[in-house]
Structure 1
Amino acid sequence: MRVWTSHLVGFVPMMALTLGVIASFAPGAWATTLEQLTLDEMAQKSTAIVRARVTGSHAATRGADIYTYFQLQVLETWKSSGQASTEVAVPGGVVDGIRQSVSGAPELKPGQEYVLFLWTSRSGLTQLMGLSQGLFKVSEEGSGGGSGVAVVQRPAASELMLNRSGLPVDDHAVSMRLQDLRSRVRQALASAKLEASK
């Protein structure tokens, strides 16, 4: 089965690094290798960061690849490049009975709320930073009746992950309060702005 990362080979290396996705070849198949991104790196490199609810999806081809496009109802914008994105493309899906599966591509569920770290290419395609690394599920913890604390969670990636030196590293699950993630993002953006002004 053809795998999405094959189309990254022709990309400018900076674009692949920006997305945190590296194309690697394994005998007989293309495999997904992720570059480990810190929260600060994702916040600074993303073109938009939103808290949104998935309202629907459809799959379509883009060149030789299949993407599933998820429609978003944006509830809160933490970072924006001007035009608010209401759709995110995730590699893989089914079109006309043909399925493409992509290791590392997350599955978004209709009705579920997420925090999404997004990157929009010059061609207008909006994707998640580092595939599953840029997607945090929002849920409620604590007492029922809507009075619990909002938390965000991301499971550890199961794909091969490399650090900046190209060495394999273990990924770890992330869980924190929504307000703490919001604060971390704001701090990262403020630090980047301060650094750019020097």
Structure 2
Amino acid sequence: MQQIKPKNGGPMKRLRPLWIFSFLLLFTILAFALTLAKASLEELTRESVIIAHGRVVGLEARWENPSHTAIETAVRFQVDEYLKGSGPAELEVVQMGGRIGDFGDVVPGTPHLVKGQELVLFLQSNRGKLEIHSIALGCFRVITKEDGSKYVMNDLRNINLVDPETGREIQPEDALTYLPLHTFLSQVRALVEKK
């Protein structure tokens, strides 16, 4: 019986580019996603020094250090209401990443904030700067529907959430917060008072 040799190295050799492409695609997806342990609203409230409802009034990218090796973005946030803590009418919140001229730092999972955006922010102090709790978990966008009603929603794009107890990945739909604004604010106020 004569053995027939496959042309071009056989099916595995022909599939090699597909395998390489699949691996690179998976690596790219994982490389541009942030993995965080899910935090409950109670944990976010307890661990934040300031919780504020307001809107973004300005953004400015700047060098984080004198050697110009990292960029941060200073977010000017006009506070309508302090739910926890107190402070001035306008806060400076710092996010990792940003763009200065031809230079840019992209930090996966960092919320993309824009001027005029209404938010509820859970803030922590880090080296004297206010930052969003867990890079993104403490940022809740306020969405105004056509009928004028307002809802809050957390932005989980480019974030992989894991259960801190089991280490298992949490599906985005199971981690999504989507509540009427007044309900969300009432829950936060109750948690602050419970402290």
Indicate which of 181, 184, 192 corresponds to 1:181: 184
Matched letter for residue 134 of structure 1: G
CA distance in 1: counterparts of 2:131 and 2:70, whole angstroms: 14
Q: Which runs of 4+ in 1 moved over 6 A?
A: none
Worse-matched range after superposition: 98-107 or 87-96: 87-96
Gaps spanning 5+ residues in structure 1: where?
1-25, 194-198
Report the number of matched residues. 160
Give me the whole-angstrom Cα distance separating, in 1, the residues matched to 2:92 and 2:166.
32
Alignment CA distance shift 1:150-1:127 (3 Å): same
How far is the alpha carbon of 1:96 from its aligned partner?
A: 4.1
Deviation at 1:185, TM superposition (A): 0.8
Q: What residue number does 2:137 align with?
A: 133
With structure 2 as the length reference, what TM-score do the two structures score?
0.73
Which structure would you say has the larger Rg? 2
- Check whether the contact 1:160–1:168 (CA below 8 A) recurs between aligned residues: no
Partner residue in 1 for 2:111: 106
Cα distance between partner residues in 2 of 1:183 and 1:153:
15
Are the equivalent residues in 1 in contact too, given 2:52–2:80 (CA < 8 A)? yes
Identity within the alignment, %:
28
Measured after TM superposition, the shift of residue 125 of structure 1 is: 1.1
- Cα distance per residue 1:49-105 (max 9 Å; x no partner): 11111111111122332111111111111011x434611111111124211111100
Number of the residue aligned with 2:78: 73
Match of 2:153 in 1: 153
Provide structure 2 residue ranges, at least 5 long, that are not aligned to the other structure.
1-26
Query: Going by fraction, where is helix more abundant, 1 or 2?
Result: 2
CA deviation vs aligned residue, 1:90-147 (integer Å, no higher than 9, x gap): 11111242111111001111011111111112x211110122211111122252xxxx
3-state SS of the aligned residue for 2:112?
coil
Pairwise CA RMSD = 2.3
TM-score by length of 1: 0.72
